[in-house]
Structures are given as structure tokens and as C-alpha cells.
Amino acid sequence: MISYMIRVFIIFSFALLYSEQTHLLPHHISYKNILGYDSKVGKVYEWHDISRYLQELKIKKFNQPNRGLSIRWLGTFGFELSDGTTSLLIDPFVSRPTPKEQFRPLHIDTDAVNHYVLRQGNNSTIKAVLVTHSHYDHIQDVPYILSQYLDNGIQPILIGNKNTEQIIQSYNKSDISWIGPNNSLEKIQIYVTDFSSKENAHNQWNIGRFKITAFQGLHPQYDFFSWRGPSGLIESTPPFYVWDYKLNHNESIGFLIEYGGLKIYFSDSPFIQNPKNIGKVDILIQTIASREMENNIAECIKVMEPIYYIPAHYDNFFKPLDEFSTFDPVIGFGFPENIFGDTETHLIDFAHFDSFITEFENEYKTQSTELRLLKLLYYYSIESLVLKK
């Protein structure tokens, strides 16, 4: 009897282990050869190797660090900012369709969203979803995330622009199975940003202990094209094709998020309009892809004086996170190579991460005396960024 129980136990354990491995866990992603940078030390591969020589940089304004304030990367420009009670999502994107799937109507990978974003239903802390712009790599997963709050009355609010609202309303009317007969997106509170007046007061929200301010921005032009992606109003119905995710007036919203004196700015563009209006921040998280045609990263660092700079949107988002065992900093637009099986060569690398490190060393770090370039790791405890006296 005992040996029978042991055998059942072993089989059960293997089954558990196997089910865990169907999705890679954050610490399984290898960041080998992905550089970080410290203005005093230079290039850094592994922070823990040098941390004993370095005095930690201090975020001075963060007077009362709240234990547990954390930031989690959710693919591309996706983040979760959380203090354990209130969580905000910014552009969560884990569906990551492959190049071949880009030519078909896009389906949300609900499995991946459940695992990486909703953490198998443990989602009651998500109070707001912020969308910078309505391209699929920023908004694709949002309708499904919002639809998962039907019965419990704790739906997060949604902040975005006109097209973001249109995508949600269009999903709500669709017959996609997880929308359900009761139109699960019907009651979502959507706040559409309005930059028509100079006052930014109506583009501000207090959510838990977070204060959010939206700033008008412009989507970057793609490298080698002077084009910002499909634009216009959303007219089609879901499931959408890649090209149905249009931009409203080429707009991309930047979000300033304040928490207990700490200021974090999220810019999904390497060009920030009027950084002086935003002012000084502690952490600047910025898209570095498509910065060939226009970027003002050096000016942003000079004016906004971040202590930590986290480059974002340079992962190869044509690869599902499950296959992302080694961080791949090449957004290689592989068409048509991948289609015919000739992988390895890329027509365009929208990230050009290697040259970013050189640019950082030569142009950006000189704008500031103390600056640290963090790798786009899967998880930061913000507490760990604050120097303890």
C-alpha cells in the first residue's frame, strides 16, 4: 500500500512539474550578453558581480519606500506596477503572434495572458489598464484582460485614446466566446484622453496610492520608412488583422506615474515632446526601437534627469514568451526570410540594441552625472533601487 502511494506521489509530482514547465518562469530567461551600464563603472553584464564595489544610486525623492512596490515586465512595452494592493498595467502584451500568424486575423493567446498577466485568476489587485497607443503589440491582449472581471464588480478602469475605446467597444459587440452573451466589456469605465485644452488636469487619475498623468506624444516613424504605422479610425470588427490596429492621429500617450514622491515616466517613443513639461523623474522607461529617424533621448536625460534609465521595446516580440529562453534583443522583421525557412538574416533590426550601448556611452550618459542603464529584466523590486542609509 505504501509503495503504491509513493508511486502515485511520484507520478503526481512529475505531472505537476511538467505542467509548470509548459510556461517558462521569469528566472528561466537568460540575459547572457545583454548589457547594462553604470556611469561610473561602464558596461555591466551582471550587476551582482560589481555591486560590492559600487555605491548604490539613490532615488532621493522616494522618501517612504513602500516595501513591495515592484515592476514586472510583460513583454515589449508591457509592465505591471504594483504595491501589492493596487496594480496598474501598461500595454500588457504576451500573445506575441509569430510572423506567419501576422497574416491571419490575430487571436489573443488567452493561455499566455492567464499565466503571465492574470496569474491564473489572482488578478483582483489590477485597478487600471493604461494603453499608450492602439497598435496590436500594445493593445491586443487588453480586451481579454478586461473581460475577466464580469461578476466580481472590481473591473479595472481603462485609460487610452479614442481608438483604444473603439477596440474595446468593438470586441464587446463581437461573438468571441470569452466575451459571452452578457457583453462582458459593457460596463468597463473608459477614460479617453483629451489634449485639446492646455490644462492637463482632466488627464489625471488617482488610483490607490498612484497618481497618473497622461501626456500627448507621437508614435515614432519606423526606421527607413517615414511612416508611423496604419492610421485612422478603427472600422473593422474583431478578430482584427495587424493592419486594423490603426493609430488615432499618430498619437502615443506618455504616462507619468507618481508614488510616494517617486516619479516614473513611461514613454513608448524615443522622442518625447516637450520633456520640460514633464519635469524631473527618477526612472525613465522608454522605447528604444525605431529611433533612427528621430529621437531626443539625450535631451530627455538632460531635462528629466532620471537616475535609472530602462530601455524597453527591444525584445524580439515575434517570438512567444514561452520560447524566450534567451533574451533576444533583435526585432528582426524577418519577412520574407522566415517564410521560406532562411532564418538568421533579418531585413531590418528595429531595436539595434548593440548600437544603443555605444550611443548611451557617447551621447546619453554625458547628459547626467549619475545614471544607470538597467536591463529589461523580468522583475524589479523598486525597493532594491533605493539606497538604504
Binding-site ranges for Zn ion (CB under 5 A): 137
Taking the least distance from each CB to Zn ion, the nearer of 214 and 289 is: 289
Decide: 219 and 161 in contact? Cβ < 8 Å. no
* Residue 347: CB minimum distance to Zn ion, A: 18
d(CA 256, CA 213): 5
Taking the least distance from each CB to Zn ion, the nearer of 184 and 286 is: 286
Angle at CA of residue 140, ends 137 and 141, nearest 5°: 115
* Residue 76: CB minimum distance to Zn ion, A: 6
In this structure, the number of other CB atoms found within 10 A of the CB of residue 379 comes to 11
* Residue 358: CB minimum distance to Zn ion, A: 23
Give the residue at shortest CB distance from Zn ion.
137
Sign, CA dihedral 237-290-314-267, equals negative
The cell for 63 is 522618501
Decide: 134 and 234 in contact? Cβ < 8 Å. yes
* Residue 65: CB minimum distance to Zn ion, A: 31
Taking the least distance from each CB to Zn ion, the nearer of 219 and 372 is: 219
Taking the least distance from each CB to Zn ion, the nearer of 142 and 382 is: 142
d(CA 71, CA 97): 24
In this structure, the number of other CB atoms found within 10 A of the CB of residue 270 comes to 22
* Residue 252: CB minimum distance to Zn ion, A: 9
List all residues 6 or more positions away from 1 whose beta carbon is below 8 Å from its beta carbon: none
Decide: 253 and 215 in contact? Cβ < 8 Å. yes
* Residue 93: CB minimum distance to Zn ion, A: 8
* Amino acid making up residue 40: K
The cell for 181 is 452573451
